[in-house]
Amino acid sequence: MQIHLGSLLVGLGAAFVIPLVSRVIRPLAVEAIVAGIGLVEEGRRVLAEQLEVMEDIAAEARARREQILVAAETNGGEPETEIEEVAASARPRRRANGSAVRRQPS
């Protein structure tokens, strides 16, 4: 069996290069993983905050609905009518953008 000089050099080069590359790539890989973990934790925190806001809104809506139902029972009115009136009054008004009123040409 004959040993080829090119194969020997490639093998020896790989034996020296692979540990060198792994010493360079390992810290980069560790930093990338640390950054990824940080992003995941930040995403979880933001998601938890948004979930809490949604729960607060739902609790406020339940409390408001309960108030409407109690008011409807004391007034002898229909609860659906009361809810529709409150919903209609809760619609936001259109706001002007500060521009002047357009005049139509005469």
The per-residue pLDDT for range 18-64, each reduced to its tens digit, is 888 888 888 999 999 999 999 999 999 999 999 999 999 999 999 99
Q: Is residue 96 part of a domain?
A: no
Q: Is residue 17 part of a domain?
A: yes
Q: Is residue 66 part of a domain?
A: yes
3-state secondary structure of 31: helix
Q: Is residue 28 part of a domain?
A: yes
Provide the whole-model pTM. 0.48
90 DSSP 8-state letter: T
Number of domains the chain contains: 1
Q: Is residue 103 part of a domain?
A: no
Burial profile 5-17: b = 16 or more Cβ within 10 angstroms, e = fewer: eeeeeeeeeeeee
Residues 6+ apart with CB under 8 A from 69: 79, 82
CB 83 within 8 A of CB 71: no
Structural domain boundaries, residue 51: 10-89
Q: Is residue 105 part of a domain?
A: no
Q: Is residue 30 part of a domain?
A: yes
